[in-house]
Amino acid sequence: MSEILYQFHPNPAALADSGEIEHLAGKYLTRRRLENAQFVLTATLDGFIGGVIIGELPWGRIGMNWDKYVPHSIEIGALLVDPSWRGTPVAFRLMNLALSAAARTGRVPVAVTEVGSPVHRYLERTGAQQRSGFVFEGTDYMPWVLMPEPAAVPA
């Protein structure tokens, strides 16, 4: 059996141009988000990309202003896994790799989830810190701080 290959892509626009992640694109992974991304991580098995996650500088696509929550943040978003890969540890591994990549940027990793989504429930279990939720176009969203801010880390 082949092994899943996890890759860091420092040039997200080139990955978008390749068409390799088109089947995962949609509402949560748009061309604009890829162009804004600082990095993309993918999970590949036998030449098929079955998982993706991005790290992007916050840009307020849904009215978010991260500066009021966490200045100098990087948003971890668009965690998408092909339906045939659900139930595997791919999403967990991509999230951990994204947190490591975010830490190397010197920015605090944050996220926004739809309330009640699988990622929302996952973040609740991990102990991520919730911020005040908001509603956009009739959907409830929850902002999260995924790792302690540098000032909050004990010496």
Judged against a pLDDT cut of 90, whether residue 6 lies above it is answered with yes
What is the pLDDT, as a whole number, of residue 103? 84
Q: How many domains does the chain have?
A: 1
Judged against a pLDDT cut of 50, whether residue 153 lies above it is answered with no
The CATH number that applies at residue 32 is: 3.40.630.30
What pLDDT, in 10s, does the model give residues 36-87? 788 999 999 888 999 999 998 776 555 456 666 677 788 888 888 898 888 8
What is the pLDDT, as a whole number, of residue 29? 82
Residue 76 makes CB contacts below 8 A (sequence gap 6+) with 53, 54, 55, 95, 98, 99, 102, 109, 110, 111, 146
Mean pLDDT of the chain: 81
What is the pLDDT, as a whole number, of residue 10? 82
Across residues 116-127, what is the average pLDDT?
Answer: 85
Q: Which domain holds residue 123?
A: 5-152
The candidate with the shortest Cα–Cα distance to 8, out of 40, 53, 35, 44, is 40
